[in-house]
Amino acid sequence: MTLTKDESGAETPDPLDPYTPSARRLERERHKRARSRRATAIAAVSTLATAVVLYLVVVNAPGWPRTKETFFNGQYAREALPKVLEGLWLNVRLLLICGVAVLVLGMLIAVARTLRGPVFFPLRFLAAAYTDFFRGLPLIINLMIVVLGVPALRLQGVTVDPVWLGGTALTLTYSAYVAEVFRAGIESIHPSQRAAARSLGLSNRQALRYVVLPQAVRRQVPPLLNDLVSLQKDTGLVSIGGAVDAVRAADIIVGRSLNYTPYIVAGLVFVALTIPMTRFTDWVTARMDRRRAQGGIA
């Protein structure tokens, strides 16, 4: 809408503008803005009131002084933070390497499960057995089996580094979950898409690569990002094999001081690392929902 000024200096809609909202619409938009400001103010006040109530409940609890000394000690927090951050670099590297491996292995398993024809039955069976087994096996048990069991075999040429073994266990478990996410995306593509690709002269492999997979991956971006957020947190479990990551660094200080503040520091560091990825996931999900609502490509 274009505004012009009359002789008195007041701004009025330009009559030559092809689009001039009606007075009712302008009033409705002002009402929406006012209602939005009111809702924001109410939310802020209610949040502040809830925070104050929770604070008063906690600090007035009978065991708060002892809890504060044991879990929120500033001296041990300052001591633990540099070591926890140093160990966090291992968690970040595990996330990057395992994340790529999980995406590649998960995609291969998903494609194997969606292959057609009786000749591919063995591949479909093995892929289904893999996903069923590792989705049902608790991650902590998988880590113990790989980290503690593989070195006991004394295989020649096989590493006994707990970091590599822990990363392998994480990849085995999370690739099973990611494979099901990819498979759901592939099966959500209507068969007419594949048929149209074949009618244009593409082979089955080309139709899968150029038509089906791009759409399937685009649709499954939000759940894939959620799995990566979970993987980021679970990299801390490699510490059970002795790898000095953020959790293990905190555990060493706790064992020496018998104060649990380093665990709080490690937890807050992981939260600070996870929140940006979580917000990014929410943004991507909301963006894709808006595109679907507007009739765009999912």
In-domain check, residue 210: yes
In-domain check, residue 92: yes
Is the pLDDT reported for residue 235 higher than 60? yes
Same-domain check for residues 15 and 151:
no
Tell me the per-residue pLDDT of 128-185, one tens digit each, with 9 for 90 and over. Answer: 999 999 999 999 999 999 998 888 888 888 888 889 999 999 999 999 999 999 999 8
Same-domain check for residues 12 and 97:
no
- In the chain, the number of structural domains is 2
In-domain check, residue 249: yes
**Percent of the chain residues past pLDDT 70, beyond the cut:** 91
Looking at residue 215, what is its pLDDT? 85
Same-domain check for residues 94 and 11:
no
Host domain of residue 90: 83-291
Q: Which residues of 62-89 are buried (b: 16+ CB within 10 A; e: fewer)?
A: eeeeeeeeeeebeebbebbbebbeebbe
Tell me the per-residue pLDDT of 71-81, one tens digit each, with 9 for 90 and over. Answer: 989 899 999 99
Distance from chain centroid for Cα 184: 18
Predicted structure pTM score: 0.76
Tell me the per-residue pLDDT of 104-119, one tens digit each, with 9 for 90 and over. Answer: 999 999 999 888 888 8
Looking at residue 3, what is its pLDDT? 53
Residue 198: which pLDDT band, with cuts at 50, 70 and 90? confident
In-domain check, residue 49: no
Do the beta carbons of residue 225 and residue 280 sit within 8 Å? yes
